[in-house]
Structure 1
Amino acid sequence: MTEPARQTFPVKVLLGRLEQGATAPWSSYLPDHLRPKGVSAKVFETSGSASSSKAKAEAKPQKKEYSPVGITVLGRVWEYSQDAAGCREVQHAIDVADEETQLRIAAELQDHVWDAASCPHANHVLQKCILALHPRHSQFILDVLMRQRLASQAARHKYACRIVQRLIERCPLEQTIGLLRCLIADVLPISCHAYGNYVIQHILQHSSLQGELCAALEEHLANLSSDVYGAAVVSCAMTTATQASRLSLAKAIMQEPSVLIRLACSRHGHAAAREVLQVVEGPDRTLALRILQHNQNRLQRSRYGRIVAGIH
């Protein structure tokens, strides 16, 4: 017969307290051989329990979506636009109004363009105006951005970048060319910005100035390939630009082998490296493959580099 295991001093003290009837709140968590008589063991629900998950879901209060009630907004457009519920009322008013009323609503924002563009609520109203009105009626927004030299700042603003994107989508080139040229002139800091990179990608996807933009990107490939957002812009250019622009950009990438390797090892840049191999032909493709072969060790250490290294 085996002897019972010796009890350490702390265990003896604990057992002594429990035997004296001191039932602590945590006693139900004790193992069976230590739990006092009459105390039930604590039952834990598994995280995968369907009933538990359902109960938690039912207990969690559901966020109600605001439904516009159709109040009159004329005369108070700017006031309502700055509020979470009010901006929805203004957007609803634009949706259901005739063109004349839409223009009257937009007119009340003409003295508040930058404040509206940079507001978490009013920016939605400004976007709605751009989408609902004829492009010529959005000129007052472009005028403010250009006159106050806010183009680059707007492109990198959390909310105002959306206004720039809507203008690029909606307005013709002859109307936005000044804005686009300002953005292209400042392409590096905008491309390497958390919000600005989406504006540059928007130009690549929606503007006929993408060739001019790609030429500007070629001048900054070393910096772009070293930045997570910049690499995403290069990938966008390599997948959406014209064949001629893609080929020119691919050859520029190959001129500096470290650029190609950095892109290949990047989460957002490896698509660009793959496109380089798809675009170039003949001796240029042979050179690209040789660069990758000479950097196999680095490529194999990267999840994305291994993808590019597998292309032949």
Structure 2
Amino acid sequence: ALQDQHGSRFIQQKLESASLQEKTQVFGELLPQSYSLMTDVFGNYVIQKFFEFGTPEQRQILASRLRGQVLSLALQMYGCRVIQKALESVSSDQQVEIAKELDGNVIKCVKDQNGNHVVQKCIECVEPSNLDFIIDAFKNEVFSLSTHPYGCRVIQRILEHCTPSQTQPILDELHQYTERLVQDQYGNYVIQHVLEHGKPEDKSRIVSLLRGKFISLSSHKFASNVIEKVVAHSSRQERQALIAEILDDPDPQALYNMMKDQFANYVIQRMLDAADPGQRKALMHRIRPHIPGLRKFTYGKHIIAKIEKYFLKSGEGQQQHQQDLDGYSSGASSLNSSQNNGGL
């Protein structure tokens, strides 16, 4: 029954409210085949439920059954779920014991479609002082992991949960590669994460590394998301410098080109939102002459809609603006959400 769908589901539902006697009976039947259940499409759920609703003793016995098997389970489609549930359910000593079995195979797990979830769960659940082996494994690997579809998630978990002395070497490596990471389909999420959640000095370091490149990066599919975060999360002075860089560009068409660009237009919208009144006024003053030209472009219309929001009274063509606004504000919001899909 444990390995068929209905039997498994029945036992899962019953366990939550089962008496001690019933739990003990099922546990006795399950224990001899516990390992094969852990890797079974239905059986793994029964094991997970015991980690959740079993007695403390049953949890401990199941955890001891993981000994020597953590790596192979972590790399297996169903086993990885059992390990994650175990990490959430057992004592801190047993958490450490489970995590330590990955030592020597951290990078292998991080790059694995199943194993990466286990490493993330270790970082979330285990006391950081016991995770130095993970930090050590990342030495000189931060760039390659940040540009990896699973590695980029694990790096973000480290930044969220580990101690400053553990995150510092990770951040130092990130800063060496900022310009390349912002243009990478995965690396850009790691830099966005630092801009949203990092220390002020790390944010400032990123902003200063990107200074002088804001215009070109704003038109880049991945980097434009980072530049939006720079606008939203930098200091007032840094935002002033960013706006100045765009308004003072030697190319008089730079601002106009950004406004009709499929990516850069979001950066300009974000600037209008984040600017203080003086900055916004200066921006709107420079945008205003371009409004007739912007109407011809899908993305330009987003800017017109945004400016309507800030009550730019442009005298002539006010009615036309209103039509643009009615026609495109809904489009702007749906496009905006697809462009800005936050963290992975």
Same fold per superposition (TM over 0.5)? yes
User: Is 1:134 the counterpart of 2:130 in the alignment?
Assistant: no
Equivalent in 192, 200, 209 of residue 216 of structure 1: 209
Runs of 4+, deviation exceeding 6 Å = none
| % identical aligned pairs | 26
Determine whether 1:255 maps to 2:251. no
Aligned to 1:9: none
* Change over 3 Å in CA distance of 1:105–1:199 after alignment to 2: same
Counterpart CA distance in 2 for 1:206 and 1:124 is 21
Picking from 61, 65, 69, the partner of 2:47 is 69
Distance (Å, rounded) in 1 between the aligned partners of 2:70 and 2:222: 36
Q: Which residue, 120, 124, 127 being the options, matches 2:117?
A: 124
Query: Any conservation in 1 of the 2:73–2:83 contact (CA below 8 Å)?
Result: yes
1:232 and 1:269 in contact (8 A); partners too: no
Query: 1:7-37, CA deviations, whole angstroms, 9 ceiling, x for partnerless residues?
Result: xxxxxxxxxxxxxxxxxxxxxxxxxxxxxxx
Contact 2:219 2:262 in 1 (8 A): no
- Corresponding residue of 1:97: 90
The CA distance in 1 between the partners of 2:103 and 2:254, in whole Å, is: 45
**Residue number in structure 1 paired with 2:181:** 190
Partner of 1:228: 221
CA contact (8 A) 1:123 1:163 kept: yes
- Which amino acid in the other structure matches residue 161 of structure 2? R
1:293 aligns with 2:288: yes
Contact 1:188-1:224 at 8 Å conserved across structures: no
Structure 1 pair 130–296 and aligned structure 2 pair: CA distance change class (3 A): same
Distance 2:254 2:122 in 1: 42
Rounded to whole Å, the distance in 1 between the matches of 2:126 and 2:238 is 33
Shift of 1:255: 3.0
**Contact kept? 2:184, 2:222, Cα under 8 Å:** yes
Mark the CA change 1:236 to 1:266 in structure 2 (over 3 Å): closer, same or farther.
farther
The equivalent residue for 2:170 is: 179
The superposition leaves residues 201-232 of structure 1 with CA deviations (integer Å, 9 ceiling, x where unpaired) of 11111111112212222232233112111111
Counterpart residue identity of residue 154, structure 1: L
The one-character-per-residue Cα deviations of 1:223-278 (angstroms, maximum 9, x if unpaired) are: 31121111111112212333333333332333336554454334554342123335
Equivalence for 2:149: 158
Amino acid at match of 1:86: G
Q: Which has the larger radius of gyration?
A: 1
- Describe the superposition over 1:184-217 as per-residue Cα deviations: whole angstroms up to 9, x where unpaired: 2211221111111111111111111112212222
> Contact 2:218–2:267 (CA<8 Å) still a contact in 1?
no
Higher mean displacement: 222-231 or 77-86: 222-231
Cα shift at 1:128: 0.3
Whether the 8 Å contact between 2:87 and 2:95 is mirrored in structure 1 is yes
Aligned length: 247
State the distance in 2 between where 1:65 and 1:186 align. 44
How does the TM-score come out when normalised to structure 1?
Answer: 0.71
Q: 2:138 corresponds to which residue?
A: 145
Q: CA deviation at 1:151?
A: 0.6
1:246 aligned residue (239, 251, 254)? 239
> Does the aligned pair in 1 maintain the 2:219–2:264 contact within 8 Å?
no
| Cα deviation, residue 132, structure 1 | 0.2
Please give the alpha-carbon distance, in whole angstroms, between the structure 2 residues aligned to 1:107 and 1:195: 28
Return the TM-score normalized by structure 2: 0.65
Provide the residue aligned with 2:298 in structure 1: 303
Q: CA RMSD of the aligned region, Å?
A: 2.5
Structure 1 pair 187/255, CA: closer, same or farther in 2 (3 Å)? farther
2:269 pairs with 1:274: yes
Per the TM alignment, residue 308 of structure 1 is displaced from its structure 2 partner at its CA by: 1.6
TM-aligned CA deviation for residue 81 of structure 1: 0.7
Preserved contact between residue 147 and residue 186 of structure 2 (Cα < 8 Å)? yes
Would the alpha carbon gap of residues 219 and 108 (structure 1) be closer, same or farther in structure 2, given more than 3 Å must change? farther
Unaligned runs of 5+ in 2: 1-40, 49-61, 313-344
Q: Which runs of 5+ in 1 are unaligned?
A: 1-62
**What SS class does the counterpart of residue 84 from structure 1 fall into?**
coil
